[in-house]
Amino acid sequence: MKTRTQQIEELQKEWTQPRWEGITRPYSAEDVVKLRGSVNPECTLAQLGAAKMWRLLHGESKKGYINSLGALTGGQALQQAKAGIEAVYLSGWQVAADANLAASMYPDQSLYPANSVPAVVERINNTFRRADQIQWSAGIEPGRSALCRLLPADRCRCGSRFWRCPECL
């Protein structure tokens, strides 16, 4: 576990990154560390997704723009990733109309249960985690597997016997 001083220094360093340029904070890193407690929970999937979106928005998108399609299920999101779509969009109105936990149709005015969107995100994340487990057990490295397409292939240059990634097509 990191000391209070280490956490403060780490947060101060993080705030110097280009991502936070132009952000004015009326509080210090010491204030944040003091209030958050000694245990700092990690949200790995959220951190990975946010970092990927930041990179895409700042030049790593293959086409110079980011294609996105709406997904209501993990299966839809996984197929989009395999097709090379760089981002998955989850719409509030889609959840209100078709995927809320009350199993009813609502207007997009946040009248549906507040935990509906997080529940859909959890299902999508679980699908990606399971796909990662399957590909990892097959010896496919991260990064390659996220953009692989499900196509018949004897053996892809990225090392997969089952998948063919866009770089190898």
Residues 54 and 133 in one domain: yes
Residues 24 and 54 in one domain: no
**Count of structural domains within the chain:** 2
Residue 88 φ/ψ, nearest 5 degrees: -110, 135
Residues 121 and 84 in one domain: yes
pLDDT of residue 84: 83
Residues 73 and 88 in one domain: yes
Taking the C-alpha atoms of residue 19 and residue 162, their distance in angstroms, rounded to an integer, is 37
Does a structural domain hold residue 154? no
Kindly state the DSSP code that residue 80 receives in the 8-state scheme.
Answer: H
Residues comprising the chain, all counted? 169
User: What are the start-end ranges of the H helices in the chain?
Assistant: 4-14, 29-36, 44-55, 74-82, 92-94, 116-137
pLDDT of residue 163: 47
Residues 59 and 125 in one domain: yes
- Alpha-carbon torsion, ordered 52, 82, 89, 91, to 10 deg: -150
Ordered per-residue pLDDT tens for the chain, 169 residues:
889 999 999 999 999 999 899 999 999 999 999 999 888 888 888 888 888 899 999 988 888 899 899 999 999 999 998 888 889 999 888 888 888 888 788 776 777 888 888 999 999 999 999 998 988 888 877 765 444 444 334 445 555 544 445 555 4
- Digit-coded pLDDT (tens) for 83-119: 888 899 998 888 888 888 887 887 767 778 888 889 9
Range of the domain at 23: 1-41
Residues 61 and 21 in one domain: no
The pTM of the full predicted model, rounded to 2 decimals, is 0.71
Give, to the nearest 10 degrees, the angle between helix 116-137 and helix 44-55.
90
Give, to the nearest 10 degrees, the angle between helix 116-137 and helix 74-82.
50
pLDDT of residue 33: 95
- The tokens describing 129, both together, are 């985690």
